[in-house]
Amino acid sequence: MEKIEITLNINDKPCEVRVFPNDTLLEVLRDELDLTGSKESCGEGVCGSCTVHMDEKPVRACLTLAMEATGTRIKTVEGLANGDDLSDLQQSFIDHGAVQCGFCTPGMLMSADALLNENPKPDEKTVRMALAGNICRCTGYAKIVEAVGHAGNPQDHCPDCKTKE
């Protein structure tokens, strides 16, 4: 098999990489581009820890071929913050204690970010369904669900919501 040169648009930057036709997007992100924020937990499309956005839609990078990603806009967890400025969602994860070991966190954030882009004030059930493809072994999900629901949408009753100045 020969490597092919492709250009990927990742976090709004063009990236030229040489890939095998059977390389997954996850392999290319992690091994070629050193974007190791996207994680591999199952490698078979079950756990969601490799979730990235392809044209704003969450996809599993472990099941996506790098070649398929040409001509699309890819966003990874590294592209969520604006420099050092965290997004509301990232800050909300921190404030609500939604991060324990943090291995599922990048995938959770990407699934949740896609949800919030479509529906900025989802109810709890909607959040739980939107995250049903992301496995977290540590948190029992309660704080993650809260963090997503309260992101950019602070609730008076919540002791962990920091009202934004």
Partner 1 sequence: MSDYTIIGKRMPRVDSRAKVMGKAKFTADLKLPGMLVGKIKRSPYAHARILNIDTSKAEALPGVKAVVTGKDTEGVKWGVFAYTRDQQFIQIEKVRYIGDEVAGVAAVDKETALKALDLIEVTYEELPAVFDPMEAMASETDLIHEDFPNNINIHVNIDTGNVDENFAKAHYIREDTYVAPEESYFQAEPYAVVARFDHEDCLEVWMPNGGPHMKSKPLSNAFKIPLHKVKVRKIAIGGAFGGRSEICPVDYICALLAKKTKRPVRIQFTREENTIGTRQGHAMITTHKTGVDKKGRVLARETTCYMDGGAYSSTGPIATSVPFLSMEQAYRMESVRYNGYRIYTNKPIRGMIRTHGRGFACGLDTQLDMIADHLGIDPVEMRLRNSRQPGEYTSTKSYVDSCAMDETIHKAVEKSGFKKKWGKLPPYHGIGIGTNSVQTGFPMGIRGGSQSFIKFNEDGEATVMSGVVDNGQGNDNMLIQIAAEELGLLPEDIHLVSADTETTSSDPGSYSQVSTFVGGHAVKIAAQNCREKLFKVASKVLKVEPDKLAAKNRLIFIKDDPEKSIPIRKVVRISLLNFNSVNAEGGYWPRVDMKREWVKNPYGQMCEAFSFGTTIVEVKVDPDTGQVKVLEATAAQDVGYALNPLVLEGQFEGSIAMGGQGGMLTEYHEWKDGRCINPTMLDYKLPLACDMPPKINNIIVESVDPKGPYGAKEAGMSIAMSAAQGYSAAVSNAIGVYMDSFPLTPDKILAAIKKKNHK
C-alpha 18/C-alpha 58 separation (Å) is: 24
Binding of ligand FES at residue 103 (CB under 6 A)?
yes
Binding of ligand FES at residue 54 (CB under 6 A)?
no
For the CB of residue 61, give the shortest distance to partner 1 in the complex, in Å.
Answer: 13
- Binding to ligand FES by CB under 6 A, coded x per residue (else -) over 61-100, reads -x------------------------------------xx
C-alpha 92/C-alpha 146 separation (Å) is: 9
* Residue 127 CA: distances (Å) to CA of 34, 71, 118, 137: 30, 30, 12, 18
User: Pick from 4, 33, 42, 86: which binds ligand FES (CB under 6 A)?
Assistant: 42
Kindly state the tokens that stand for 134: 């992301």
Binding of ligand FES at residue 138 (CB under 6 A)?
yes
Query: Rg of the chain over CA atoms, in angstroms?
Result: 16
Could you tell me which of 20, 101, 153 has the C-alpha nearest to residue 6? 20
User: Pick from 21, 102, 120, 140: which binds ligand FES (CB under 6 A)?
Assistant: 102
Binding of ligand FES at residue 46 (CB under 6 A)?
yes
Which stretch, 47-55, 71-79, 87-95, 156-164, contacts ligand FES (CB under 6 A)? 47-55
Ordered DSSP codes for 35-85: -TTS--SSSSSSS-TTEEEETTEEEETTSSBGGGGTTSEEE-GGGSSBTTB
Residue linked to tokens 């969601």: 48
Which of helix, strand or coil describes residue 107? helix
For the CB of residue 102, give the shortest distance to ligand FES in the complex, in Å.
Answer: 6
Residues that bind partner 1 (CB under 8 A): 30, 34-44, 46-47, 49, 76-78, 80-81, 86, 90, 93-97, 99-106, 109, 124, 127-129, 131-132, 134-145, 159-160
The smaller minimum CB distance to ligand FES, of residues 90 and 139, is found at 139
